[in-house]
Amino acid sequence: MGSYTKLPDDHPTTISTGRDSKTTGELNDIWISVAHGSEDYSYNYMRKNLYEECLFKCEDERFGLDMDINRYTAAIETFEKIKEEIEMASAKQQQYNN
């Protein structure tokens, strides 16, 4: 069984108003992606071939990188606030000493 299944002919379809003649011929309206497996996989998709495995791995790596970037950005912002507080305290200390 493949990863895609054709919708039945009697399945209701929605009509998109934003398509032109070029996109109507290119976009898919009759094939859907179907996950195969059992409940034992707890929502993990079975990877069917090398290309799907690479796609999932790439998506996982990109998600991890996005999480790292967000974490590092938050750390940098925190350090910048601490640096500003230290500089303000240092300036007040110098005023007090003078």
**Per-residue pLDDT at 39 exceeds 60:** no
Distance CA 27, CA 2 (A): 20
**Between 59 and 33, whose confidence is greater?**
59
Domain boundaries, the chain: 4-97
DSSP-derived letter for residue 8 is P
* Nearest partner of 71 among 83, 79, 82, 81, judged by Cα: 79
Distance CA 62, CA 7 (A): 32
Q: Looking at residue 40, what is its pLDDT?
A: 44
Across the chain, the runs of DSSP E, i.e. the strands, are 4-6, 31-33
**Per-residue pLDDT at 73 exceeds 50:** yes
pLDDT-derived band at 26 (thresholds 50, 70, 90) equals confident
The tens digit of pLDDT for each residue in 4-25 reads 788 888 877 777 777 787 877 7
Q: Is the pTM of this model over 0.95?
A: no
Residues 35, 56 contacting (CB under 8 angstroms): no
Mean pLDDT along residues 35-48: 54
> Look-up: residue for tokens 């925190």?
78
